Chain A
Amino acid sequence: GAVVSQHPSRVICKSGTSVKIECRSLDFQATTMFWYRQFPKQSLMLMATSNEGSKATYEQGVEKDKFLINHASLTLSTLTVTSAHPEDSSFYICSATAGGQGGHEQFFGPGTRLTVL
């Protein structure tokens, strides 16, 4: 299957700082990328959907000013957690799909574990 990478895999930061997480599709062009959050022992929860070159669509309850998403190219999307607090500590996972003729499957990155002290 297609490969999606995330960087960093793990980050620890102080409360009040901002953290940027990168998501890259390595061997295909992703028309759409998704960002999920997963708390311990819970399922994945979709945060937002982003299409290349347009603004992200956020799910209900997700603050767009706190979780900034940029999808500047067909292979890169970034999620910036601004002014992070301990309650933002979570496992953040991105996924990407080629869409259209490229197929409907979503391919997931390995995740980024964020710990806010």
Chain B
Amino acid sequence: DAKTTQPPSMDCAEGRAANLPCNHSTISGNEYVYWYRQIHSQGPQYIIHGLKNNETNEMASLIITEDRKSSTLILPHATLRDTAVYYCIVRDGGSNYKLTFGKGTLLTVNP
């Protein structure tokens, strides 16, 4: 699976949009981009995933560049409860469902 690069930490003001970048320049054509987050001392939570097109759900939006070498997770109105480590993971679309977690981005939402 392709490697991803994320900033180690980011800050965001409560109520503002949080934009979390991820670089995956070696992504191949059949690999999806997944985002998970982990609030302290809890199991990771699935947020969103995409292949080529931008995706949106009730939690977030995922913007994937046209060359698919990078993506941005957008939390439109961050709350204090969104403080967590956010993981960007690239995984192939086949039957190997393994996820390889990197170090992620610690997002701190400030009041």
Q: Which residues of A are in contact with B by a Cβ distance under 8 Å?
A: 1, 4, 6, 32, 34, 36, 43-46, 49, 91, 93, 95, 97, 99-100, 104-111, 113
Give how many B residues have a beta carbon under 8 Å from the other chain's beta carbons: 23
In the assembled complex, the CB of B108 is this many whole angstroms from the nearest CB of chain A, namely 15
Residue of A nearest to B59 (CB): A1
B46 touches A110 (CB 8 A): no
B104 touches A105 (CB 8 A): no
A111 touches B104 (CB 8 A): no
A105 touches B46 (CB 8 A): yes
Contact with A along B1-44 (1 / 0, CB 8 A): 00000000000000000000000000000001010101001111
Residue of B nearest to A107 (CB): B46
Roughly how many angstroms separate A91 CA and B102 CA in the complex, as a whole number? 17
Indicate if B81 sits at the interface (CB-CB under 8 A): no
Q: A1-B46, A45-B101, A100-B95 are in contact. List 9 more A-B contacts (CB 8 A).
A: A34-B99, A43-B102, A46-B98, A99-B95, A104-B49, A104-B97, A105-B46, A106-B99, A107-B46
